[in-house]
A and B are shown apart, each in its own frame.
Chain A
Amino acid sequence: MQVPYQWLKEYVDPGMTAQQLADLMTLSGIEVGVVERFGSDLPGVVVGQVKKVEQHPGRSNLTLVEVDTGNSILNIVCGAHNIKAKDKVPVAKPGSKLPGERLIAEAKLYGVLSSGMLCSAQELGLELGAEDEILILEEDASLGAPVDRLLGFDEEILYLDLTPNRSDCLGLIGVAHEVAALTGAQVVFPSCEPVEGGRQLKDFFQVTVEDPEWCPRYTARAIEEITIEKSPLWMQLRLLKAGIRPISNVVDITNYVMWEYGQPLHAFDLDLLTDSEIIVRRAKDGEALITLDGVKRELDSEVLVIADSNKAVGLAGVMGGENTEITEATRAVLIEAAAFNPKNIRLTARRFTLPSEASQRFEKGVNHEAVLEAQNRAAYLIGELTGGKVLHGLIDINSSTVKPWPVQLKPSRVNKILGMDIAKEEIMSILKRLGLQLEQIEEDLLLVTVPLRRPDLLIEEDLIEEIVRLHGYERVPTTLPRGELIENRESLAERLKTMVRDLLVSCGFYECITYSFINPANLNRLRITGDDPRLRLIPVQNPFSEEQAVMRTTLLPGLLKAVQQNISYRELNMQLFELGIIYTPKELPIKNLPEETERLTLLVSGLAPEPNWVVPSRQAGFYEIKGALELIFKRLQIEGITYIDRAELFTHPTRSAQLLLDGEKIGFIGDLHPDVAADFDLEQPVTLAEIELDPLFRKANLVPRMVPLPRFPAANRDLAVVVAKEVSAAKLEEAIWAVGGELLYAVRLFDLYEGKQVPAGKRSLAYSLVFRRDEGTLTEAEVNAAQSKIEEALFGLGATLRS
């Protein structure tokens, strides 16, 4: 809502600058986004009066104009043809400056010296009139006066950012009420008493409202003997300052009054209303209307129309029809001021994508009382400004039952809710400033009567907000809630998530957050097919794009996208993870809330650690992820994790594993299949993992149990064997433990070698073994015996000792 400050001041004088008022309003609930001057200065542009207009000697399309600017007579060459002697016009004297850094200087035009320029409205920066049409100023403009001042270019405009509850401020008079409440100033209401003449409207015109629920009030007045022309310059300027394009006197006045009262009006060409009749009715199925924008609208019974006896003439509250539009030929008008059902207006405006200043106001609900005031105000202005004859009488079909309503208020409750102490007198004074009526029922009970213009004040709490915002939010003290202690540690699952994040960070992983919606095509690219539960996708009804079309059932697409992006930035070494929710429907389309479960996804690619001079880097892959996961399992004290070959269709056939927890699949680790990597345009190998967190968290144990420290020293032995590659490390270790007996304390693989020094198809594994006994030091012989047993067991798997 644009509020031209000088215009506002007609209804209330806050006694302060526009900026001061803006600050005050912002701090008390009506946010003023910005205060802006209407126009830039026009140095050197002054009011001049045309003395005579002559033909340019050389060019037939130019004229020579002599203008008097008060202290000098200037001769100016001019291309426009809409001026005559005595007209007051804006004269840009030599040395003056027009918008767009346009400097005006004396110049010879086709042999004649032109001392300046006569200006069109557009040349002054106004969106008004034609380009080649000199702006004619009002007759009483004084010669030589600066034009920027005359046109109010220095007027400040307040741009209000209204919250949806404050539709009362969609009109200047509503704003004036607010300003009055803030400053204690008085609201001055404009004149609303038209001088009536001619015949009685009711004698020849009839209004019928067929659907009072959708149109609780409809008023009409008629004006005859009217000439449609431009409205006075001051009104055009005011509308421009409000952000409205001036059109013609009658239409301008309806808009002007809308800006005053927040009540939209519509003007019909009276002579085009068949049978002098208005019927407010639902449209018939198949009925059509060409609206003022020239578009044909197909209607049905969900649309309320204004009609005459044989046709629709307007979409009620949204836009008028072309068939009864005000034109230069119009000689009589019918002015409509009405109240419509807000919901119906919203639906209609949406359906035809016709949001307008009018529909915006009807959608929020207009004040049923102000309908009549606005009607009379418009009639008054038309009578005053156009010379038209306002006919006797007014038609008012009013089925509205809205009356000012009572709200009870306990001053003690005001203070209980606010946590402060505002005196009852202050409370009452604030409510009065707001124009509310008060009645004291009991010592601590007020009956507050709310006028129709404040539909947002319905309950005691609404009034409490009014009181505290006018008292000043800055005066509210700062305290903390006091209350009983509650157990407020985070849930175990949340703490475990934090722990998992911390552990992964300590392993060098960076956390990512990707969108919760994905492109379903990415699941196809991942070869996820058939009855895979990840294809049970919940679609978004109104996504922005296919990229965000369905709710994710895996976090992989998001991280793969992150890889693509990072590669494109040449960030080639990455260790990423995301901890987030996937969505599993109970049925499709969903009728219940879907399940939302946590997934942990890890991804590595490139070198790890980042190349450096201290430790060697290697291609990050399976073991980097497995190591990080093992750390998590260890920290959560989770046992029972096993790995089995080949994870997913989208993983490398011989470089991936399913992860099982107590035999149940909880996820996978693996290199991305080269074919899939190619489909995702990834130029470098990628390894990823995705695991379910809930089964892990169910088994997690965070409290370590201490075992007594060994009292006797351990014996350390190294054992290197050469064995066929097919024999897995797990199998070897299993065999070692199986025969290690009570003395074996720890086994650690410390070297793995494949290459020239071992036969083809084999590899060497070196283990560090720790032996220990709880009671007493081990003898050399005991350790040797234990080691021999282990060696025997490994020989059983085809291993030989590495020499």
Chain B
Amino acid sequence: MLQKLKELENEARLKIKAAENIEALKEIKIRILGKKGELTTLLRSLGSVDLEERPKVGSAANALRLELEMLFLGKEQLLRDASLGDKWAKERIDITLPGRPTSLGQKHPLTLITDEIKEIFIGLGFQVAHGPEIESDYYNYEALNFPADHPARDMQDSFYITPEYLLRTHTSPVQIRVMEKLAPSLPVRIIAPGKVFRRDDDATHSPMFHQVEGLAVDHDITFADLKGTLLLFAREMFGPEQKIRLRPSFFPFTEPSAEVDISCIMCEGKGCRVCSDTGWLEILGAGMVHPRVLEVAGYDPKQVTGYAFGMGVERIAMLKYGIADLRLFFTNDLRFLKQFA
């Protein structure tokens, strides 16, 4: 019986395919699916099938009926459309013309990256904090453990407004401002995005650029927590396969300190020109908040610990979007800006 159904199906398919006009198709349909049609007849003889086989054959026959009905419907539409050839020709559109332009602009790539960073850390339970761009020497340096004649100040050349005020050289002063405001309550978990300024202007330095600071202070924040947070960040930002590498470094306001590398996103760590064949790209500095900084900001370093990190937004945007020249960020060239739309 199943064999017969199969034969019927094959035959029907051939006939439907071969039908040349609607009348012929209708005739075929009646012959197969009509009250006295082949399939109907076949179904009537179901009674002669084994009791066990019967449900199987019955459902196969019904499925075939449904399928053939669809085939007839499709073929019928095809034949009808073919008969109205002139009408369609008049109504033809050029599908290769460009679509109606949507007048959508785009955010600056640095805003896109900053938004992405914020999203990642908000998801981790961080608040977003802000601080002034014109900052006092105290918050920019002194409270961050850069004493007046500390050699680390050599690393940063600042734009001064007065001897006491300057354009902040990093977003780290926000750490102090936030802790001062919150102490002694816990936990502190913030990121602080913003503009920073250094007296540098060449192909790889801009006098103004953007950083995102991170800070977590609580009863037992650990160096391992810092590493975990940054690994998670790297994976969210650059993909789930990302690896990170911490190297010991020095910042006056963290101890222990680390430079953080991600595996090179261009060569996946194999070594290429972008990563100078090391397989690694430096993306941020981090460390455990220096006890003196905690103390200055109003926390007891014996009771609480914290970690902090700071990253350059331009650096991340350059890596993520493949931007080679830092200066493009600030010339506002539409040929550049439009690439992020």
Q: Does B bind A?
A: yes
Would you give the shortest CB distance from A138 to chain B, in whole angstroms?
Answer: 37
Q: Roughly how many angstroms separate A516 CA and B221 CA in the complex, as a whole number?
A: 36
Using CB atoms, name the residue of chain A closest to B200: A544
Whole-angstrom distance from the CB of A40 to the nearest CB of chain B? 20
Q: Does B175 make an interface contact (CB < 8 A)?
A: no
Q: With A363-B151, A542-B159 in contact, is A480–B232 under 8 Å at CB?
A: yes
Chain A residue with minimal CB distance to B230? A478
A508–B105 contact, CB under 8 A?
yes
- Of B165, B195, B220, B232, which is within 8 A of A516 by CB? B195
- Specify which chain B residues have a CB less than 8 angstroms from the CB of A27 in the assembled complex: 245, 247
A474 to B231, CA, bound (A): 12
Q: How far is the CA of A625 from the CA of B135 in the complex (A)?
A: 34
Which residue of chain B is the closest to A538 with respect to CB atoms? B161
Give chain A interface residues in 173-197, CB to chain B under 8 Å: none
Tell me which residues across on chain B come within 8 A of A517, comparing CB atoms. 159, 207-208
B325 at the interface (CB under 8 A from A): no
A539 within 8 A of B: yes
Given the contacts A163-B250, A418-B222, A593 and B97 also touching, CB distance less than 8 Å: no
Q: Is the CB of B248 within 8 A of A28?
A: yes
Say yes or no: A461 contacts B291, CB within 8 Å. Answer: yes
Q: Count the A residues whose beta carbon is within 8 Å of the partner chain — how many?
A: 95
Q: What total of A-B pairs shows CB separation below 8 Å?
A: 251
Chain A residues within an 8 Å CB radius of B218:
481, 483
Contact A486 B224 (CB under 8 A): no
How far, in whole Å, are A512 and B331 apart by their CA atoms in the complex? 8
> Complex: how many Å from CA A26 to CA B329?
32
Residue of A nearest to B248 (CB): A29
Contact B229 A481 (CB under 8 A): yes
Contact A566 B330 (CB under 8 A): no
Cβ contact within 8 Å between B162 and A541: yes
Assembled-state Cα–Cα distance A203/B335 (Å): 80
Which A residues between 416 and 467 are near B, CB-CB below 8 angstroms?
A: 416-420, 459, 461-462, 464-465
- Contact assessment for A478 and B103 in the assembled complex, using a CB-CB cutoff below 8 Å: no
Binds A, one of B68-76, B83-91, B108-116: B108-116
Contacting pair B149 A486 (CB below 8 A): no
Cβ of A52 within 8 Å of any chain B Cβ, yes or no, is: no
Q: Across the interface, do B151 and A364 meet the contact criterion of CB distance under 8 Å?
A: yes
**Distance from A130 Cβ to chain B, minimum over Cβ atoms (Å):** 37
Say yes or no for A540: interface residue by CB 8 A criterion. yes
A535 in contact (CB, < 8 A): no
User: Within the assembled complex, what's the spacing in Å between the Cα atoms of A469 and B118?
Assistant: 30
B219-255 at interface with A (beta carbon < 8 Å): 219-225, 227-229, 231-232, 245-250, 255
B98 touches A543 (CB 8 A): no
Report the Cα distance A417→B224, complex, angstroms. 8
Binary A-proximity of B186-201 (CB < 8 A = 1, otherwise 0): 1101000001010101
- Whether A469 and B256, one on each chain, are in contact in the complex, defined by CB atoms closer than 8 angstroms, is yes
**With A513-B329, A542-B160, A583-B134: A478-B231 Cβ-Cβ less than 8 Å:** yes
In the bound assembly, the distance between CA atoms of A595 and B207 in angstroms comes to 22
| A28, A473, A491, A569: residue with the most chain B Cβ atoms closer than 10 Å | A473
Q: Which residues of A contact B257 (CB under 8 A)?
A: 465
Interface of chain B residues 289 through 341 with chain A (CB within 8 A):
290-291, 305, 329-335, 337-338, 341
The answer to the question of A575 belonging to the interface, with a C-beta cut-off of 8 Å to chain B, is yes
Contacts of A539 in B (CB 8 A): 161
Is A565 at the interface (CB under 8 A from chain B)?
Answer: yes
From B15-23, B48-56, B125-133, B263-271, give the one contacting chain A: B125-133
Residue A5 interfacial (CB < 8 Å): no
Contact across chains for B305 and A417 when beta carbons are under 8 A apart: yes
B63 at the interface (CB under 8 A from A): no
Of the residues B108, B160, B165, contact of A513 by C-beta under 8 Å:
B108
Known A-B contacts A417-B305, A419-B224, A461-B256; A505 and B155 likewise in contact (beta carbons under 8 Å): no
Task: Chain A residues near B169: list those with CB within 8 A.
Answer: none
Known: A28-B248, A464-B256. A507 touches B227 (CB 8 A): no
Q: Which of A244-252, A308-316, A525-533, A605-613 contacts B (4 or more CB under 8 A)?
A: A605-613
Assess whether B2 is interfacial by the CB under 8 Å rule.
Answer: no
Interface centre among A163, A346, A571, A612 (most CB of B within 10 A): A163
The answer to whether residues A510 and B106 also contact, given A342-B149, A476-B223 and a CB cut-off of 8 A, is: yes
Nearest opposing residue in chain B for A505, CB measure: B105
- Whether a CB of chain A sits under 8 angstroms from the CB of B258 is yes
Report the bound CA distance from A538 to B105 in whole Å.
Answer: 33
Q: Within 8 Å CB of A608, what residues of B? A: 103
Q: Is the CB of A488 within 8 A of B122?
A: yes
A476 to B247 Cα, complex, angstroms: 11
CB <8 Å contact, A566 and B107: no
Q: Is the CB of A569 within 8 A of B335?
A: yes
CB-CB under 8 A from B30, the residues of chain A are none
Chain B residues, CB < 8 A from A166: 250
Closest CB in chain B relative to A584 CB, distance in Å: 11
**Contact mask for chain A residues 16-36; partner B; CB cutoff 8 A; 1 contact, 0 none:** 000000000011110100000
B312 to nearest A CB, angstroms? 14
**Which of A420, A468, A515, A576 is within 8 Å of B207, CB to CB?**
A515
Q: How far does the alpha carbon of A418 sit from the alpha carbon of B330 in the complex, in Å?
A: 40
Decide yes or no: A465 and B255 within 8 Å by CB, A486-B189, A513-B329, A575-B105 being known contacts: yes
Q: Are A540 and B167 in contact (CB under 8 A)?
A: yes
Report whether B100 and A614 are in contact in the complex, using a CB–CB cutoff of 8 Å: yes
- Output the least CB separation between A686 and chain B (Å): 14
Bound-state Cα–Cα, A751 to B167, Å: 52
- Contact A540–B159 (Cβ < 8 Å): yes
List chain A residues, Cβ under 8 A from B161.
538-541, 551, 589-590
Is B154 an interface position by the 8 A CB rule?
yes
- Contacts A510-B338, A516-B197 given; indicate if A416 touches B222 (C-beta within 8 A): yes
A615 lies within 8 A of chain B by Cβ: yes
The answer to whether A164 touches B128, judged by C-beta atoms less than 8 angstroms apart, is: no
Asked if A82 is at the interface (CB within 8 A of a chain B CB), the reply is no
Can you list, as one digit per residue, whether each of A581-619 has a CB less than 8 Å from chain B (1) or not (0)? 101000001100110100000000000111011110000
List chain A positions with a Cβ less than 8 A from chain B. Answer: 26-29, 31, 163-167, 342-343, 346, 363-364, 416-420, 459, 461-462, 464-465, 468-469, 473-474, 476-481, 483-491, 494, 498, 501, 504-517, 538-544, 548, 551, 559, 561-562, 565-566, 569, 571, 574-577, 581, 583, 589-590, 593-594, 596, 608-610, 612-615
Name 16 interchain pairs, CB-CB below 8 A, sorted by A.
A416-B222, A418-B223, A418-B224, A419-B225, A459-B255, A461-B256, A480-B124, A514-B330, A514-B332, A516-B197, A538-B161, A539-B161, A565-B333, A575-B105, A589-B162, A614-B101
Interface residues, chain B, with chain A CB atoms under 8 Å away: 97-98, 100-101, 103-108, 110-111, 115, 118, 122, 124-128, 130, 132-136, 149-152, 154-155, 159-162, 165, 167, 186-187, 189, 195, 197, 199, 201, 207-208, 216, 218-225, 227-229, 231-232, 245-250, 255-259, 288, 290-291, 305, 329-335, 337-338, 341
Q: Which 6 A-B pairs have the closest CB atoms?
A: A419-B222, A419-B224, A29-B248, A465-B256, A508-B103, A163-B250
